[in-house]
Amino acid sequence: MNRRSLVSIGALVLGVAVLLSASVVAQVPAPLAAKRAPAAKVPAPTGKPYTPPKTPDGQPDLQGFWTNSTYVPLERPQGVTKEIYTPAEAEAAIKAAAEREAEQTEPGTTADVHYDFSQFGLDRSQSKFAASLRTSLIVDPPDGKIPALNAQGQKRGAERAAARKAAGGPYDSVQNMPIGSRCIIMGGSGPPMMNAGYNANYQIVQSPGYVMILTEMIHDARIIPLDNRPQAAQGVRQWVGVSRGRWEGNTLVVETTNFNGKNAFRGASENLKVTERFTRIADDMIDYKFTVEDPATWDRSWTAEAPLAKTEGPIFEFACHETNYGISNILAGARAEEKAKAEQAKKGSN
Amino acid sequence: MRNRFLTRVTVAGIVTCLAAAVTLVTAQTPGYRAPRAPDGKPNLNGIWQAINTANYDIEAHSAAQSPVLEMGATGAVPAGLGVVEGGTLPYTPEALKKRNENRANRLKLDPEVKCYLPGVPRGTYMPFPFQIIQSQKHIMLVHEYAGAVRTIYMADQTEAPADSWMGWSNGRWEGETLVVDTKGFNDLSWFDRSGNFHSDALHVVERISARSADTLNYEATVEDPKVFTRPWKMSMPLYRRVEPNAQILEFRCVEFVEDLLYGHLRKQPSQ
């Protein structure tokens, strides 16, 4: 942990105390306030480094249920120039974000035809989230933004956009729809593990020589071998890449390459390399940092910090594809609309 | 004469004793003792796979033509001696009728064709490896097929909160054996490609133990009073994938079945 994080955690203790106070809870939109769970606790800096418990085979123990749900955006918002909010500013930012989520479910609005996020516990304010005073998850570059795409990255972006355009409208075929809607993969699995809008839950289980990270969305289990085996041959390409891990002291370092390029993480190529660092810094907190490198996309690497807060299990089966009525309904709706338009046009021409 | 008689009795006695001894030895053949995990429990960690044709049909079956003409010999069904104890599944008459309908329409109805979760115990003997990740509170079974995952709760055990494809598994150690009790199933998965099926009353008890350094004994007792007239059992060995670089790879089959499931809803070029 660097010094800056320590400073921010010191500030967080104050921030969390404020966030937990009744006055703040009362300011959260009414339907949310009643159900709101307390934000994850942040340990008081004792001056002593935290020593994580060990598994029976001697690994630092990361096991349990965790969430990376957060209101902190990946990139620093426009107009914000500081890296760390004051507790009052952080509180205002969370409140604004919670209100934006609640807006989706305002009765009578267009958005309300979607299911009620607050009713089904889907908005972030109802689950535990890792409290942070950071203005962005990105800590490097210092401006908190993803570096600009380089020439190669821009060219690839343009080619992908052209291919999408050539493939037709967003509802012309299932392949034109987002991979999350298709139940292929959701953002939470990563790597890097990005907070999903809801169900941002993970379970870590360790056995000798392995760490397994189960992402609730979509029952995605990443098994990371720790035996220093060489990376898989380049011919093996996966949506989630192929991960290799090792312990550096109390930090689990995981390097992932061999992506299939279909996920196009933030415009990256299939040669993306993600390095993740997991360090348990308290009984209920894992410091999670990831660094993204892809010289074919960005001229420099970038790094984000997205802590995992302890949460309660268990994690239930998320069978997404098996009941994906949404895809059929959306495509059938689009076809019905086209048919109606064609008939309308026919009538008009008669 | 008497001596001869005595001799005979003695020989008979020895044979009986020997037979008894042999029986004892046979009963103890599974007496292989697995290496211990760091917590002292039998170590079942590893990447395992069945080598049989149960996924085609858990009952005994002959080789058969591919259900898809174009697949030729590559899609044909290899024969199998069956993994069900007693050979035949004890269906109720109505259930047997449904099984036969399933079988006749298996390309349309088999959930595997649609890349749906495999259910239990089918995940164990699909032609894909799965990995056991064994810790104290949770034992994970991670299948390559469709990325199916089972969490076996060794502590904090509860009833199934709702029905699911892979069920809700509570486990315990009985000596050398991991016993997994799974309930809370939906009625959507099958046992194989031949239409053998269950209802949401399915209850599976699996017993897993090491039989040698690189093999496991696997058995599953299946109870489902809505479909079967009595509980029945299947058993098979499982084999360790011993390649030094063995790992569970991605078989994210959703994208392989999208045209099959949703192709008819694709926008047609305007005429």
Check B38 against A55: CB less than 8 A apart. Answer: yes
**A164 shares its domain with A113:** no
How far the first Cα of chain A sits from its last, in Å, is: 74
Nearest CA in chain A to B133: A207
Which of A109, A133, A157 terminates a domain? The answer is: A133
Instruction: Give A47→chain B minimum CA distance, Å.
Output: 32
Q: Is A216 on the interface with B (CB under 8 A)?
A: no
Inter-chain residue contact B138 with A205, CB threshold 8 Å: yes
- In sequence order, what are the beta bridge partners of B209? B217
Same domain, yes or no: A307 and A297: yes
CATH of the domain at A273: 2.40.128.20
Same-domain pairing of A272 and A311: yes
| Cα distance from N-terminal residue to C-terminal residue, chain B | 106
The model's confidence at residue B53, banded by pLDDT at 50, 70 and 90, is very high
pLDDT grade for A46, boundaries at 50, 70 and 90: low
| R_g (Cα) of chain B, nearest Å | 23
Q: Find the residue in B nearest to A242 (Cα).
A: B249
Lowest average pLDDT, out of A19-23, A64-68, A218-222, B253-257, goes to: A19-23
Q: Is residue A219 part of a domain?
A: yes
The amino acid present at B185, given as its one-letter code, is F
Q: CA-CA distance, B182 to B201, in Å (whole number)?
A: 11
Pairing of strands A210-215, A201-207: antiparallel
Residues A105 and A233 grouped into a single domain: no
User: For chain B, which residues make up each domain, given as ranges?
Assistant: 46-61+80-265
Cα separation, A295 vs A309, in Å, equals 32
Report CB contact under 8 Å: A225, B247.
Answer: yes
Residue A267 lies in a domain: yes
Contact B113, B107 (CB under 8 A): yes
Distance CA A98, CA A126 (A): 10
Asked whether residue A170 falls in the same domain as residue A93, the answer is no
The answer to the question of residue A212 being in a domain is: yes
Q: Calculate mean pLDDT across residues A244-261.
A: 97
For B163, name the nearest residue in chain A, comparing CA atoms only.
A317
Separation of alpha carbons B110 and B98, rounded Å: 13
In a domain, A78, yes or no: no
Residue B27 sits at φ, ψ, to 5 deg, of -60, -30
Q: For residues B267 and A195, which has the higher predicted lDDT (pLDDT)? A: B267
CB contact under 8 A, B164 and A332: no
Task: Answer yes or no: is the ipTM higher than 0.90.
Answer: no
CB contact under 8 A, B151 and A315: yes
What are the chain A neighbours of B261 within 8 Å (beta carbons)?
A: 174, 328
C-alpha to C-alpha distance for B163 and B187, rounded to whole angstroms: 9
Instruction: Report how far residue A28's alpha carbon sits from residue A246's, in angstroms, rounded to the nearest whole number.
Output: 42
Q: Do A44 and A146 have their domain in common?
A: no
CATH topology of domain B46-61+80-265: Lipocalin (2.40.128)
Ranking A70-79, A288-297, B170-179 by mean pLDDT, the lowest is A70-79
Q: Under an 8 A CB cutoff, do A335 and B140 touch?
A: no
**At A335, is the pLDDT very low, low, confident or very high (cuts 50, 70, 90)?**
very high
DSSP B130-196: EEEEE-SSEEEEEESBTT-EEEEESSS----SS-BSS-EEEEEEETTEEEEEEE-B-S--BSSTT--
Look at B135 and A214 and tell me if their CB atoms are within 8 Å. no
What's the domain count of chain A? 2
Same domain, A233 and A125: no
Q: Which pLDDT score is estimated for A123?
A: 60
Contacts of B11 (CB under 8 A, 6+ apart): none
Assign A277 to helix, strand or coil: strand
Same domain, A93 and A65: no
Q: How far apart are CA B30 and CA B208, in angstroms?
A: 11
Measured in angstroms, the CA of A206 and the nearest CA of chain B are apart by 6
Nearest-by-CA chain B residue for A183 = B254
pLDDT score recorded for residue B11: 46
Phi, psi of B240 (to 5 degrees): -75, 135
Contact between chains at B147 and A184 (C-beta distance less than 8 A) = no
Q: Sign of the CA dihedral B99, B101, B106, B109?
A: negative
A236 close contact with B: CB closer than 8 A:
yes
Q: What angle do CA B236, B239, B245 make, to 5 degrees?
A: 155
On whether the CB atoms of residues B217 and B124 are closer than 8 A, the answer is no
Q: Does the beta-carbon distance from A210 to B255 stay under 8 Å?
A: no
pLDDT of residue A102: 66
Inside any domain, residue A195: yes
* B254–A219 C-beta distance less than 8 A: no
**Residue A136: CA count within 13 A, CB half-sphere:** 22
Of residues B133, B153, B262, nearest to A328 (C-beta): B262
| HSE-CB of A68 using CA atoms within 13 angstroms | 29
The predicted pLDDT at position A60 comes to: 98
Q: What is the pLDDT of residue A111?
A: 57
CA distance B262 to chain A (A): 7
pLDDT digits (tens, 9 = 90+) for B166-206: 999 999 999 999 999 999 999 999 999 999 999 999 999 99
| Mutation for testing the A interface, residue in B43, B131, B133, B136 having most A CBs under 10 Å | B133
The b/e string for A309-319 (b: 16+ C-beta within 10 A; e otherwise) is bbbeeebbbbb
Contacts of B55 (CB under 8 A, 6+ apart): B112, B122, B125, B126, B127, B192, B193
User: Can you tell me the mean pLDDT for A165-191?
Assistant: 93
Nearest CA in chain B to A317: B164
Residues 6+ apart with CB under 8 A from A350: none
**Share of residues in chain A with pLDDT > 90 (%):** 66
Closest Cα in chain B to A56? B38
* A119 belongs to a structural domain: yes
Q: Clarify whether residues A129 and A227 are in a common domain.
A: no
Tens of pLDDT, residue by residue over B237-262, are 999 999 999 999 999 999 999 999 99
In this structure, the answer to whether residues A196 and A250 fall within a common structural domain is: yes
Partners of residue B80 on adjacent β-strands: B61
Same domain, A123 and A181: no
For residue A65, list its beta bridge partners: A203
Residue A80 included in any domain: no
Task: Tell whether A182 and A205 lie within a shared domain.
Answer: yes
The whole-chain average pLDDT of chain A stands at: 83
pLDDT in tens, A202-230: 999 999 999 999 999 999 999 999 999 99
pLDDT band at A266; cut points 50, 70, 90: very high
Tell me, what amino acid is at B257?
V
Q: Which of A106, A115, A71 is nearest to A90 (CA)?
A: A71
| Structural domain that includes position A45 | 1-49+85-133
What is the reported pTM?
Answer: 0.86
Q: Is B73 a residue whose pLDDT tops 80?
A: yes
